[in-house]
Structure 1
Amino acid sequence: MSDGRQNQFHFDTIALHEGQTVDPITRSRAVPIYQTTSYVFDNTEHAADLFKMEGEGYIYSRISNPTIDVFEKRLAALEGGVGAFAVSSGQAAITLALLTIAKAGDEIVATSALYGGTVSLFTKTFPRFGVTVRFVDGNNLAAVASAINEKTKAVYTETIGNPSLKIADIEGLSELAHRHGIPLVIDNTFTTPYLIKPILFGADIVIHSTTKFIGGHGTSIGGAIVDGGKFDWTNGKFPELTEVNPNLNQRSFVEVADNRAFITKVRFELGHDLGASLSPFNGWLFIQGLESLSFRVKQHVYNAQRVAEYLAKHDQVEWVNYPTLAGDAQNSLAKKYLPKGAGSIFSFGIKGGLEPAKTFINSVKLLSHVANIGDSKTLVIHPASTSHSRLTLDEQLRSGVTPELVRISVGLEDVDDILADIDQALKLASQTAEKVR
């Protein structure tokens, strides 16, 4: 279904069909795994045209691959974008997307409530490339505006902050970014395009760690960048996309690819040069994940709501941070942006602080103590001592991480079994709390 008809179909149909043209030789119904490094050219002219981006076809699987091509088209269609580039991890997706926009001397404004690995990337690695990232409270649009200057090339946020659960005001951030002639880049891993399509609210570039819900089963590492195709790269701030490029037969990326200029540049420059390619097999597994995405996410959300409500009433729990709980401060944002649910990942605080929180983590039996989210199995972790441990105390607090905080990614097990395991672990945590008083 690659003939432009996707706008006629609904989410689940697109998730099953988009991007695939049935192989005329084998007539395979399932998408084949093209486990190949390279492709035969018709002749020297055909090869030359492909290298100048003037023809259709494949060159080398570091750049593109037929199996991954299906996955990219399918994910782009589900997000409402014009194109996608699948890469080796979510971190690779963030890196390639932002370094395509920003070069040495440039700046990025990022909301502070981010995944610890992203904060580390921005504070430790990006400065080595000469790119400065300024962190601000994403819920304070005035603070975001004051951080933007003539060097700023993008605003970056997460749909739902990890693990703070702060919901981004996507419309507010996009209007602000566009007023300054820069794109809004948003990580949509927590929610997937089933719960929200950020492009519809003004986002320009969407990032995914496809490792999480899109894969869904904890078997594959991958990432993806989706181009919304609506940002005006010709506004004078992004000459790398508009100036003549000798590798493009003296044309610019905008001339070659029009509204797909950004994603084309990502693929054929940093994608080519840094080689953060996704394997065909992992791409094929992500295709399987997309086909069941909506059904899994619906159950994830149902289970998460049940678990959050249970924890909110538990006498060993200090607080629960889940936007769709009654009385939560983010109810209005959740209703606006996430009417289907706020995903299955949230945080809660164990009474007594650090030691009872550690006891809880060490006492779960059905739940898994894992540095991952979005698996079909329920996962828990203590961010302050793991995913955010490389951050300073101030950086942890800005990210919403406190000593008593436990992050849970609610899976697809029977919810009563999940609750039973949580209950027995909380009882043991309460014993630790008594000892440390």
Structure 2
Amino acid sequence: MSGFSTRAVHGPVGGPAGDPHGSLRPPVYDTVSFAFASAEDIAAAFAGRKAAHSYSRITNPTVAEFEARVQTLAGGRGVIALASGMAAITTAIMALAGAGTNIVAARSLFGNTTSLLAHTLAPWGLETRFVEMSDPEAVAAAIDDRTRAVFCESITNPQLEVTDIAALAALTRERGVPLIVDNTATTFYLCRAGELGADIEIISGTKYLSGGGSSVSGLIIDHGSFPWARSPRLAEFAQGFGPFAFMVALRREVSRNIGACLAPHNAYLQTLGLETLALRVEKSCRNALELARFLQSQPAARAVNYPGLAEHPCHRLAERQFAGRYGGILTFELEDRESCFACLNRLRLIKRATNINDNKTLAIHPASTIFTEFSPAERQAMGVGEGMIRISTGIEDLADLQEDLAQAIGSK
């Protein structure tokens, strides 16, 4: 059983036994704790000598089923599911870094990720060095003996810059630091981040995985490629658990103590979303490419930005890295903020809403929303101008989306 969609629907071979009632859906274990036959059994579970669910903040059967489904699709040594994509990023970084150390991160990132690194973690003593990931010399110069990870996105949101993961992985491997790739915008369906060299893959399941904006989740995938004995924060765990040090550190310390656990019902919804992931990604990508071409024909729409366009500076890299599909996000420019607001307010079908990779097509003005906490100069440096509109394409009929955009930007 090797096909992606077959595995997404049926789960891992040799997985949990069938439901005693014949249910085709995994049960939802909406419970906090689990009973044990004896005091010795529960003591063994807490000590890690016995594999068992004891408390849903740590593990839960429904969440474990979701994690197993993701692992069979994404590969890797281990998967942990958390309450959100931001929880996944925070937890991964806290497992690797601490006060007096640094993270080298892409200058172009999702606004909340930049805020986390620059504003939330900085007061705790973690330095973030923002660099252009397309400049290997700049990345190499930023790494020193206090660097604990390099962090990037497979495709940045909303700048739509594509990171050459394989080239970056060769550099980080040489320098002995793990590479973390946020693969939310393409997922492990379009972009095989682990095969390209990512040591840790982050996914916000809130997006494509959820199956239409139904639930929030985040995933950390350890691809088993980094020798954790080389990570100062995990050296002690590596002595006892070897290649599983990162996953054990998350389960037994960082994730457990932070408490950003995924709710069982959300895990259930995410598992259902996985079943149709390939279908929805394919339709979303087709709609995005055709909408980008359509917007190029509209006089009012300027600087249409989508990696699927042949003239995009990252087109060839995206074609190679994402197997000929280019994601479901595109941007275009209007004259100014006022023009963007007027366009958004005229939309009839497309929803004015944050989030990406919903089944519905969504539109937003990034500068006034997800990047609003940054100054105009900071936004400009991050490639987020006042005239930018971001479109996240859904799975509606293309003609209806084209008609709505045409009337909204005033060309119909």
- Does the CA contact (< 8 Å) of 1:73 and 1:84 recur in 2? yes
- Report the Cα distance in structure 2 between the residues aligned to 1:240 and 1:421, rounded to whole angstroms: 52
Q: 1:324 aligns with which of 308, 325, 333?
A: 308
Q: How many angstroms does 1:24 deviate by? A: 5.6
Q: Which residue of 1 aligns with 2:232?
A: 239
Structure 2 matches for 1:86-165, cutoff 5 A?
Answer: 86-165=81-160
- Does the CA contact (< 8 Å) of 1:76 and 1:227 recur in 2? no
Range with greater deviation from structure 2 (392-401 or 268-277):
392-401
2:48 is equivalent to residue 53 of structure 1: yes
- Report the Cα distance in structure 2 between the residues aligned to 1:315 and 1:216, rounded to whole angstroms: 34
Q: Which residue of 1 aligns with 2:353?
A: 370
Q: Which residue of 2 aligns with 1:78?
A: 73
Q: 2:271 aligns with which of 287, 291, 308?
A: 287
Tell me the TM-score normalized by structure 1: 0.91
3-state SS in 1 of match to 2:128: strand
2:51 is equivalent to residue 62 of structure 1: no
Q: Which residue of 1 aligns with 2:168?
A: 173
- Report the Cα distance in structure 1 between the residues aligned to 2:22 and 2:251, rounded to whole angstroms: 29
2:35 is equivalent to residue 40 of structure 1: yes
- Does the CA contact (< 8 Å) of 2:96 and 2:234 recur in 1? no
What are the ranges of 5 or more consecutive residues in structure 1 without an aligned counterpart?
1-7, 244-251, 431-437
Structure 2 matches for 1:395-414, cutoff 5 A?
Answer: 395-414=378-397
3-state SS in 2 of match to 1:156: strand
Q: Which residue of 2 aligns with 1:422?
A: 405
2:336 is equivalent to residue 343 of structure 1: no
- Deviation digits for residues 327-352 of structure 1, max 9, x if unmatched? 221111112201231111111111x2
- Report the Cα distance in structure 2 between the residues aligned to 1:300 and 1:278, rounded to whole angstroms: 26
2:187 is equivalent to residue 204 of structure 1: no
- Deviation digits for residues 85-134 of structure 1, max 9, x if unmatched? 11111110000001100011110000011000111111110112211111
- Does the CA contact (< 8 Å) of 1:253 and 1:265 recur in 2? no
Structure 2 matches for 1:192-271, cutoff 5 A?
Answer: 192-235=187-230, 238-243=231-236, 252-256=237-241, 258-271=242-255
Q: 1:11 aligns with which of 1, 4, 7?
A: 4
Distance 1:133 1:339, change over 3 A: same
Q: How many angstroms does 1:147 deviate by? A: 0.8
- Deviation digits for residues 372-427 of structure 1, max 9, x if unmatched? 11100000000011101111233312322011111000111111000100000010
Q: Which residue of 2 aligns with 1:390?
A: 373
Distance 1:177 1:301, change over 3 A: same
Q: 1:301 aligns with which of 281, 285, 297?
A: 285
- Does the CA contact (< 8 Å) of 2:211 and 2:272 recur in 1? no
- Report the Cα distance in structure 2 between the residues aligned to 1:254 and 1:398, rounded to whole angstroms: 43
- Report the Cα distance in structure 1 between the residues aligned to 2:285 and 2:25, rounded to whole angstroms: 29
Tell me the TM-score normalized by structure 2: 0.96
- Does the CA contact (< 8 Å) of 2:150 and 2:172 recur in 1? yes
2:283 is equivalent to residue 277 of structure 1: no
Q: 1:361 aligns with which of 344, 359, 373?
A: 344
- Does the CA contact (< 8 Å) of 2:318 and 2:324 recur in 1? no
- Deviation digits for residues 122-175 of structure 1, max 9, x if unmatched? 111011221111100111111111111111100000010010000011011111
- Does the CA contact (< 8 Å) of 1:373 and 1:379 recur in 2? yes
- Does the CA contact (< 8 Å) of 1:80 and 1:200 recur in 2? no
- Does the CA contact (< 8 Å) of 1:18 and 1:77 recur in 2? yes
In the alignment, residue 390 of structure 1 is paired with which amino acid? E
In the alignment, residue 11 of structure 2 is paired with which amino acid? E
- Deviation digits for residues 215-257 of structure 1, max 9, x if unmatched? 031121111111111111112xx233232xxxxxxxx35523x
In the alignment, residue 47 of structure 1 is paired with which amino acid? I
Identity %: 38
Distance 1:239 1:134, change over 3 A: closer
- Report the Cα distance in structure 2 between the residues aligned to 1:216 and 1:394, rounded to whole angstroms: 36
- Report the Cα distance in structure 2 between the residues aligned to 1:57 and 1:17, rounded to whole angstroms: 24
- Report the Cα distance in structure 2 between the residues aligned to 1:224 and 1:260, rounded to whole angstroms: 17
3-state SS in 2 of match to 1:390: coil
Q: How many angstroms does 1:270 deviate by? A: 1.6
- Report the Cα distance in structure 2 between the residues aligned to 1:365 and 1:254, rounded to whole angstroms: 59
- Deviation digits for residues 35-76 of structure 1, max 9, x if unmatched? 111111232222222112121111100011111101111112
What are the ranges of 5 or more consecutive residues in structure 2 without an aligned counterpart?
none
In the alignment, residue 17 of structure 1 is paired with which amino acid? H
Count residues with an aligned counterpart: 410
In the alignment, residue 50 of structure 2 is paired with which amino acid? G
Range with greater deviation from structure 2 (294-303 or 18-27):
18-27
- Report the Cα distance in structure 1 between the residues aligned to 2:381 and 2:78, rounded to whole angstroms: 34
- Report the Cα distance in structure 2 between the residues aligned to 1:398 and 1:137, rounded to whole angstroms: 11
- Report the Cα distance in structure 2 between the residues aligned to 1:107 and 1:88, rounded to whole angstroms: 25
- Report the Cα distance in structure 2 between the residues aligned to 1:326 and 1:197, rounded to whole angstroms: 22
In the alignment, residue 351 of structure 2 is paired with which amino acid? S
In the alignment, residue 393 of structure 1 is paired with which amino acid? P
Range with greater deviation from structure 2 (176-185 or 75-84):
75-84
In the alignment, residue 327 of structure 2 is paired with which amino acid? G
- Report the Cα distance in structure 2 between the residues aligned to 1:325 and 1:73, rounded to whole angstroms: 36
Q: How many angstroms does 1:79 deviate by? A: 1.4
In the alignment, residue 17 of structure 2 is paired with which amino acid? V
- Report the Cα distance in structure 2 between the residues aligned to 1:253 and 1:26, rounded to whole angstroms: 42
RMSD: 1.5
- Report the Cα distance in structure 1 between the residues aligned to 2:17 and 2:283, rounded to whole angstroms: 31
